[in-house]
Structure formats: C-alpha cells, structure tokens
Amino acid sequence: MKKTLKTIGIILLAIIVVLGIIYVALPKGPRDQMAYTDRTGQPKELFTGSQYAAVTGTPWATEAALDVLDRGGTACDAAVTALLMINVTHGEAASFVGIAPTLYYDAKTGEVRSYIGVGKAPAAASIEAFQKRGWKTVPEMNIWSQLVPASMDVMTGLLDECGTMSFGELAAPAIQTAREGFPIHAVIMQNFDMSLIERAGMAVILPYNAKVYLDGQWWRPLYLHDRLKQPDLANTLESLADAEKAALDAGGSRQEGYLAVRDYFYKGPIAETIADFEKEKGGLISYQDLAGYTGGWETPISGSYGDYTFYTNSSWSQGIMLPHILQILEGIDLKSMGHNSPEYIHTVAQAVELAFADRDAYLADPAFVEVPFDEILSADFAASRRSQMTEMAFEEIPAAGEIEGYSNYTGTAEGSPYTNMGPLAKALAKAEPGQDTSQLVVLDSYGNSVVMTPSDFPLTPMVTDTGINLGNRMNQFRLDPKMVNSLEPGKRPRVTPHAIIVFKDGKYYMSYSTPGGDMQPQALTQAFLNMEVFGMNIEEAISAPRFFDVSMPDSFAPHDSLPHTIHLEADLYATAADGLKHLGYTVEEDNKWNKDYGAVGAILIDENGVINAGSDPREETTAGGK
C-alpha cells in the first residue's frame, strides 16, 4: 500500500513538474501592441460647436458618429453606427446584441419618444423553474440569466423611423474595426483584471468567451494597448449587411432593407443559430421567443423640476428615478449648504434612498404591472417623501411611500448568486469579467437627438463562432412573486440603464446618459445639480467629484444592501468624510474619477444656441462635433 501511494505521489509530482515547465514556456508577454493614448483618468475639455455633436463611450464610436453626421446623416443614423462601434470597442460592457434603452427627440414635431430597449424573459422562464434548481436568485454565471436580445430590434426600429442610410453603410466601420482590431483601452483592462486562476476559470466555464477576449490564451494576461480583434462578430455583422443588400438588389426600399436585417436576425439564420446553441447548452431561449420578439415605440415618462421637464424610458427601466429624486429635493435650499458639503451630500443621499425604496415597490414592466406614474411624480407624493427626511442618516432602509390602492412591499435579499457554483465558477463570478455599461448621445445638424444606454456583459456563454453575447440581465429580476419586479415568462426585467432628455422652458435643452448600475440616477442627479444649482458648465459638472450611496438593495442579485453607507471619490473624501461620519454614515474612500461612479456623456444647447458637449474623465468617454 505504501509503495502504491509513493508511486502515485511520484506520478502526481511529475505531472505537476511537466505542467509547470509547459506553463513557464508558454508566451505571456504583450501580443501585438498598438499606439494609443488612454482617456480614462484624464481631464476632458468642453466641446462647443454650432452644427452637430456626439458623445459616446469610446473615441472610435464618437468618430464613427461624427463621420455620419458630417455626411449629412441624421441622429438616428449616427446613433446606430456608434452603437455598433461600441459593441466592438467596448463590447465587454455593452454587447452586441444586449440592451439599448433609447430616447429620440424629433426637432420637426418637438416630440420625445422612447424605444423599448430591453428584451423579454423566455417563455420557459418562471420562478418555479429556477426554484426547482435550488436558486433563490437568478444566477450570474449561467445561461439561464439570458434575455431575448433587444438591441437589433432597437437599431432597425430607429432606422425605420428616422434613418437615411443603409444598415450596411452604418455597420461598415464596426466591421472593419472588428477585423483589423483596436487597442485594448484602460476600461477593458479594468474589466478583465483577472488572476491566473480566474482566467483559467473563464477558459473552463466560458471557453468561447475566453477565446474572444483572451485570444484563447488563459495563461496570458491582457496588456494595455494589445490589439483586440473580433472576426466572428465582424462576420455576423457582415451577414446582416448582406441580407439587406440582397433585399435592396431585389428592388426593395430602404425600409424593406431594414426589415430584411431584422428578419435575418430574429427569424432567419442567426435566430436558428441562437436557438440551436440554447438547446445544446440547456438554455431557455427558443426560436419562437426570437421570432415573436417585439420592442417598439412608447410614450416616455416625464417629470418636472423648476423650469425643467425630464423625459425618460418607462418602468422597464429606472429612468423615473431622476425626476423623482429632484422633485423630492425641490424647494430645499441646496445652494446655501455649499457644493458637496456633508449637509448637501446627506440631503441628496436621503432623497436618493427614498426614491430607491419607491422604485423597488412600484416600478416594473408596465405590460405586466400597473405602475402609479402620476402618483409617484405628483407634488403631493414628493412632499410626503420629503417629510420623511431626517437630520441624521437613516439607520435602516427607508420604507417605500404609501400610495392608495397599491402595495409598497419591497422584499428582502434573496440569497447568494453563487449557489450551486464550483470553485472556478465562483472565482470567475466574483472577478466580474466585463461590467459597467456604456452610453451615447447624438445631436444632428437638423436639431434631432438620440440618447442610448447600451449594456450587457460576457458573464454567460456567448453564442459560439458568432461574437454574440446575450448578457445576464435576467439577473435583475426578483424571484419573490410578491414583488412587482418578479420574474414571469415574457416579462421585461426592470433594468438599471435608461436615457434622459431634458427640456427647459418647454424647449429642447439636453440629452444625457451614463453607465453605472444603481449609480446611474445618482450620477445624473449630481451632474444636473452641479449645473443648475452651482452654475457649472456641463464639463465641469461631469468632472466634479461624486458620492455613491450604496444603502439600498442592489439591483443585481443577491440584492445586498449596506444601510447608511456612502462611497466618496478621493477628492471628496478628504473634505466631507468626517462630517458625514458625524451624521451617522459609514464612509468608504475610492480613487479619484472612479469608473464605478458613472461615466456621463451629455449634449446641450445653451441660451445662446451654442452646442455644448461634455465627456466624463472616468472612462474613455469622448465628445466631438462641428
């Protein structure tokens, strides 16, 4: 027996030695470095112009949008080409074909419209099905957290409404960049900041994802400015453009070309590929889910603050949060408190927490839930919530406001998202390869504007050989049937991304958006108040230090909460931390211009008719125009 154990030990040692020698011999240095100057963490300049502007999450997307605008394209044309370029150059945060909440301002009619930019739960998705697998929450690292994709429908719907160029023409820059590659920028590096064990986990659990983002070489870390190519995604985009070309060559109109693109994706070869993949991997999405998918235009939600009207997406998003927060704050003398003073931060944070409680009680897919929009955005309800504010930090999570005829149940944390995960999968989930979201805003020379907040991360299996990442947005559902945002077949989760268009004195004023999960309405609120209350220009307002209230349950499972806890960027921590601690807060410090605090992009037209565009130094966000 001892001799056998000794032999086994020697064999295992030999295997370890051989593997070690192989690992040492494997290439680990940079792959193919490209010249690039990172914009993350660098000051940004205010853009001013007179004809058009674009702000997007990467410089390549901004360049693509500006090229379209320069050739006379509309905001809708520019938004589609920019979105596709973001899908390539920031796809680990905003994938093809994830979610894309969208607003469109039509200068001719003066109307703002919302496009439903979030997919539906598959017909096979139910709370009972998840509970049978032992899950108390929708898991992060599982194919069961994938929604039916939405952004392809958004793109073709937007082009059908207000496009002037072909899909193939608008997709060409993204196809070329995906084939030729682009330099890995600082945000991708942060999103893929994984240890050797975590990269090995990705190769085992998500092998195709590792092929796309790690070039299949899990032992080799990514390096800043390495060339990243996405040939499979290029082929997929080209196949869509070819479908359009075939329709146009057959005598079809431009609109029929857009329809051919949509059908190729939702009813044609791509739908069949996705459905076959889901069946093979045990997923929930069927061909019928894809073929029957609909998005479409809707009336936006609107709320006011002083002379301003805020338009946003419906309650399949958290867009209502911004006007609700501001209405709670209306009438409070914020300016006298001093910009980013402890008293000011405390006051805004309490409004945020009260609004979050109302969000969790009342907001969900309006096709499934009756949402009291008028009541939430009424002056009386805002006043009642304002009356709940206290001199010290809330000791516990505040209750939602009461609305007659509606339950204000907000549920509780539902358990760990790592249930039934092995050690490699758990390590990979905690590493969060790919996260955040992106943004884009366009204003064309005709006065039209499009604002989007595209998202989805490679935390679930990508569709093999396509470059398609279906994301994990089912993770924002709840598995508590008493909650309004509970999972149901065909229902949309209430997602964090949303778009905002602002009117001032009844006229178009600004379009803006940001990544950042539950930070999104907080970043947008702070940027707006920096302008309106403290007189900053849009670039100053975006670049100013921020605070991040994490007191309320996280929108992502397992919906953890840290009552009376605020994170501060370093500059703000130095001046406000002690005062906030005296007000009862637990205060955490983060680095200056931290990407978890949002990356706002904004375009506005000032009182002199000058176009102003601001971009956030926290990411690669880039503004430009003419």
pLDDT tens figures, 79-89? 999 999 999 99
621, pLDDT greater than 90 = yes
Please spell the DSSP secondary structure of 134-151, one letter per residue: T-SS--SSSGGGPPPP-H
- Where residue 350 falls among pLDDT bands split at 50, 70, 90? very high
415, pLDDT greater than 60 = no
482, pLDDT greater than 70 = yes
Give me the mean pLDDT over the 610-625 stretch. Answer: 98
Give me 179's structure tokens. Answer: 């084939």
Q: Is 332 helix (H, G, I), strand (E, B) or coil?
A: coil
217, pLDDT greater than 80 = yes
First and final C-alpha spacing in the chain:
81
Give me the mean pLDDT over the 332-351 stretch. Answer: 98
Of all residues in the chain, what percent carry a pLDDT higher than 90? 89
Give me the mean pLDDT over the 202-231 stretch. Answer: 95
pLDDT tens figures, 12-63? 555 555 445 555 666 678 989 999 999 999 999 999 999 999 999 999 999 9
pLDDT tens figures, 101-121? 999 999 999 999 999 999 999
305, pLDDT greater than 80 = yes
pLDDT tens figures, 395-408? 999 999 999 999 99
pLDDT, residue 19, reads 47
Q: How many residues does the chain have?
A: 626
CA separation for the pair 547, 347 (Å, rounded): 12
pLDDT tens figures, 431-468? 566 678 999 999 999 999 999 999 999 999 999 999 99
Contact 556, 475 (CB under 8 A): yes
pLDDT, residue 22, reads 53
Give me the mean pLDDT over the 133-138 stretch. Answer: 93
Phi–psi pair at 604, nearest 5 degrees: -140, 160
280, pLDDT greater than 70 = yes
CA separation for the pair 610, 440 (Å, rounded): 20
Please state, rounded to an integer, the average pLDDT across all residues of the chain.
94
Q: Is 77 helix (H, G, I), strand (E, B) or coil?
A: helix
CA separation for the pair 361, 480 (Å, rounded): 12
pLDDT tens figures, 489-506? 999 999 999 999 999 999
pLDDT, residue 21, reads 55
pLDDT, residue 18, reads 46
Phi–psi pair at 288, nearest 5 degrees: -65, -35
Higher pLDDT, 602 or 428: 602
Of all residues in the chain, what percent carry a pLDDT higher than 70? 92
CA separation for the pair 264, 275 (Å, rounded): 14
